[in-house]
Structures are given as C-alpha cells and as structure tokens.
Amino acid sequence: MIRTPSLKALVAAVAALAVGTAVAPLAPANAAPGTTAEIVVHSASMNRDIPVTVLLPKNRAKPAGVFYLLNGAGGGEDNANWQGKTDVVKFFANKNAYVVIPNQGAFSYYADWIKRDEKLGVNKWSTFLGKELPAAINGKYSTNGRNAIAGISSSATSVLNLAIAHRGLYRTVAAYSGCAATSTQPGQDYIRLVVETRGGADARNMWGPYNGPLWRQNDPLVNAAKLRGVSLYLSAATGLPGQYDNPQAVSKPAVLADQVVVGGVIEAATRQCTDQLASKLAALHIPATYDRVPAGTHSWRYWQDQLHKSWPQIARGIGA
C-alpha cells in the first residue's frame, strides 16, 4: 500500500529542494531544421517578455504540430529544466514537431492568479499558454493546428487545468508525477509547499481563500469529466529507489541522498494522487494511458523516460 507522506515530511522534502502578442527572435527564424531557436514572446496580460525555447522540426517543408513542454516548480528559471537535465534537444532533432518550452513561470502553477503577488508579481499564465503563446507560435512558424502539452511535478497539475480551461486546444495531455487534486487538504498543502515555502508567495493570491470555491474550480480531479475527448497520458513511480537512484547514476553522495530521500517522499505522494485521478477517469469511462512505474523517485531521468514513452501517443495526436 502506498501511504500519503505526512505534511511534516513533505515540508522537509520541499525545504531541501529549495537548496498584443509579439515575438522577438534571438536566433534566425530560418535556422536549419533540427536545431533550436531562442525567442522572446511578449505577454500583454502580464506586460512582460517571456523567453521561450523552440526545438524546430526536422522537416520544415510542411506544417507541423506543436508540443508545449512545461518545466517544473522553478519554471526553467533555474538549472532544473528540460534542456539542462534531459536529452530533449537530441531526442527531438529527428522529429517533425515544434517543441515549445517557456523558460519562466516559477512557483506560479502556470495559473491565472486573481491578485498581484508581492513576490511573484502579476501571473496570467493560463492566458499566456492558452492564448498568447499559441497565437505567437502559429504566427511565426508553419504549424498544422494540432497541439499537445506535457508537464512534470507541479506543472503536471497545470497541464490538466490548461486542457480544461482551453477546451479543444490540446489534443494530447501528458502529466508526469503530478497531483490533480487541489481542493483537498493534502492537495492544498502540496500547492502551499511549492508556492509559499519554496516561492515565498501567497497562494491565496492565486485562487483566493484556502478551501474557497476557486480551489475546487481549479481541481482537475473534481472536474475530471471535462477532460473527456483529450488523449491522456499519466505516469508516476512509487518513490522507492529505482534504476537511477544509485552511485553509478548519481556520482555526488549529497545529490543522491536528496534524490532518494526527498525525491522518494514527493514521488510517493504524486503516485497516490495519480492513482486517484486514474480511478476517477475510469469511473467516468474516460480512457487514459497510465504508466505505474514500480520504482523511481521524483527526478529527471525518470521524466526523460516518460517523455520518450509518451511520445508515440503525443505524436499521433499532433500528426508528427
């Protein structure tokens, strides 16, 4: 049986981890196929410029689908991002898809916040990801109108909410090691650990008073019926040490200890969350692919594996 880690354990784990749309190109728009472009997309809703990495398709002679790939709690603003921690650039070099990775949004849950936050400022990430960024990408590149999105950890919650908020935008959604529940007490505790403990912000500026109606409105578990029609891929491990949790895979003892202890606690929590979502979807007769990984922690090598494993399903959805 997988037990929910105590709030005390999660606090300790997260504290340990704390150790008008326009596009401005930073690389030539006609860069060679299979390469990476760094662009800046202006968000009118947040009045700020957002740096975005775009992995270009191998064959740019015809329109291609778009795969939006979100970083975790740090928003890619730290060194914990897809480009630095995985083989994402190499993996997609021979794929016919635009892979779009926003490099901001730390501790925001990629949501539209109802109030400006003293620490994080104005957050309208759902508007940016659901409207402003797709409009910019479709205006700049030759896309086929088919989109998918994936996220890890906290952003695995976000991608489910984005699919619900922007019905029909994403054909496929992949959530790796996430927690769909946001209105339960454990769900709110997890969010507060990210937003408040790590981010130094106030989660009430996101969805109002704790236990308030907006927490239920932004709960993908409560609103799972609204995911009908979306091709869903879910994954989570148990938190038990797996193939990447050993000295051969992680050479630094302190990093390995954090990965096993901290990452194990967090992954065990996301496993229970993902089990709950899978059960709810099954009860609603909504199909979903669910990879129940028998061992593994809340860490990048496992998410790299999940990106590879989920890609065939994502590729079918966007015509890649």
Per-residue pLDDT of 120-153, as tens digits, reads: 999 999 999 999 999 999 999 999 999 999 999 9
Token duo for residue 166? 């922007």
Q: How far apart are CA 167 and CA 229, in angstroms?
A: 9
Q: What pLDDT shows up at residue 255?
A: 87
pTM over 0.85: yes
Q: What pLDDT shows up at residue 28?
A: 40
Q: What pLDDT shows up at residue 196?
A: 96
Per the listing, tokens 């929590």 go with 269
Class assignment of domain 7-318?
alpha beta
Q: What pLDDT shows up at residue 8?
A: 47
CB < 8 Å & 24+ apart, contacts of 35-39: 36/89, 39/140
Q: What pLDDT shows up at residue 78?
A: 85
Low-confidence ranges of the chain (pLDDT < 70): 1-34
Q: What pLDDT shows up at residue 285?
A: 98
